[in-house]
Amino acid sequence: MSCGTSIAREVKLLAEPVTRIDADGIFEGYASLFGIADLGKDVVMSGAFADSLRKRGVGDIRLLWQHDPATPIGRWLSIAEDRRGLKVRGKLNLAVERARDIHALMRDGAVDGLSIGFRVERARAERPTGLRRLEKLDLWEISIVTFPMLPGARVERVKRVKHAREDLADRIRASASRLFS
């Protein structure tokens, strides 16, 4: 950095670790959020993934660990844009040792970041903010990562056995989130 400027980093953590989960390895969250600048000043716009999802389908988008193409850890069950961002649901392949390790880390709340791997097809630079608005992306992978470039891109829930009271609480939280997001 020059001229004595510094960038304040923001860290967002889960309020509490997700501790009780099923053994199936299913999780969900947001891999990208629309209209929010990441740490590299990229802003994904609503609709940016639509063509790619239509062309590739969920089966051709890889689930990786830390963007390493040599480390696939499962598969995506669903990937879709909603009004908030790119909502994903994945399943870790628990027959793979690395996936079991990641599953344990997710249960403990130690790893919960999501990050997208893509090729830019259309973007526009904004002056003087320096932001790059990503309007069309070719999505080819989504990774579970330790530090996501977009701090809000997180695993939100790991599937687990719920009691009726917990299910009601989750539905109330989801409704409140939709109302106030």
Catalytic sites, residue numbers: 67, 115, 141
The closest alpha carbon to 73, from 91, 99, 94, belongs to 99
Instruction: Name the residue among 99, 115, 117 with its Cα closest to residue 33.
Output: 115
Count CB atoms within 10 A of the CB of residue 58. Answer: 15
Distance (Å, whole) CA 51 – CA 99: 30
Q: Which of 144, 147, 148, 170 is nearest to 159 (CA)?
A: 170
Return phi, psi of residue 32, to 5°: -155, 150
Find tokens 């608005």 and name the residue: 133
Length of the chain in residues, anyone?
Answer: 181
Q: Specify which residues 28 forms β-bridges with.
A: 89, 157
